[in-house]
Chain A
Amino acid sequence: NAGVTQTPKFQVLKTGQSMTLQCAQDMNHNSMYWYRQDPGMGLRLIYYSASEGTTDKGEVPNGYNVSRLNKREFSLRLESAAPSQTSVYFCASSEGPRGQGIDGYTFGSGTRLTVV
């Protein structure tokens, strides 16, 4: 089925460890996004890539880096994990900046990350 695939689904890290969350979409979307979801705060934008070759910071970028590897793939890296980064992470994609965006986002199934 077409959609957004995120890996892994669950991860436990020790403080200071690094890891990369992977995201791939097969809908030929131009734009991709990383959000984190915390209780009582909804989803907050970490980074986004409006089109292949570009990335920009969102609301809460500190402690994260991203790579738009190609049109399909957009990864999120935690270089030195901290307990404050314990969260559920969602990748999403959309038609893109030249599109109306009325279709909204297609979301991945999320990654639950715990930093101990």
Chain B
Amino acid sequence: AQTVTQSQPEMSVQEAETVTLSCTYDTSESNYYLFWYKQPPSRQMILVIRQEAYKQQNATENRFSVNFQKAAKSFSLKISDSQLGDTAMYFCAFMKPYNNNDMRFGAGTRLTVKP
């Protein structure tokens, strides 16, 4: 079974600075998807960014980008120009496509952006 590990339970960053959240995963699959979800205090799960394993180019969404290292099975999230609204739990997730599409999540990293 696939496992997802987020080794940083909590992190903090000053407003306007850059922070990187780590994620590693374990799989024998060659084709899969990786996701980062944000969960603010409202509890809503919000998709931040996604990466297809067969694409070498790292995904980018505005201030959010990933560093995808397939051989190392690493998928880190970089947040640039951090904003107070980025304060949230962040979950890394793994999905194998064309199956049941069940998603496996890491334990999460609580990010606090300080003014």
Residues of A within 8 A of B (CB): 31, 33, 35, 40-45, 48, 50, 56, 58, 88, 90, 92, 94-102, 104-105, 107, 109-110, 112
Contacts and interface: CB of A to CB of B under 8 A. Distances in A.
Interface residues of B, number: 28
Contacts of B97: 99-102
Given A33-B102, A40-B107, A50-B100, A104 B47 contact: yes
Nearest to A95: B101
Closest 9 CB pairs of A and B: A107-B45, A42-B105, A101-B101, A43-B105, A42-B107, A101-B97, A50-B100, A110-B43, A100-B97
Interface string B31-56: 00101010000111101001010000
Contacts of B47: 104-105
A42 B91 contact: yes
Nearest to A29: B101
Contact of A104 (B35, B43, B104, B108): B35
B43 to A, nearest CB: 5
Interface of B: 4, 6, 9, 33, 35, 37, 42-45, 47, 50, 52, 91, 93, 95, 97-108
Contacts of B33: 100-102, 104
Given A48-B100, A97-B98, A97-B101, A102 B52 contact: yes
Nearest to B108: A42
B40 to A, nearest CB: 12
Contacts of A31: 100-101
A42 to B, nearest CB: 4
Given A40-B107, A41-B107, A109-B44, A104 B100 contact: no
Contact of A96 (B9, B37, B52, B101): B101
B107 A104 contact: no
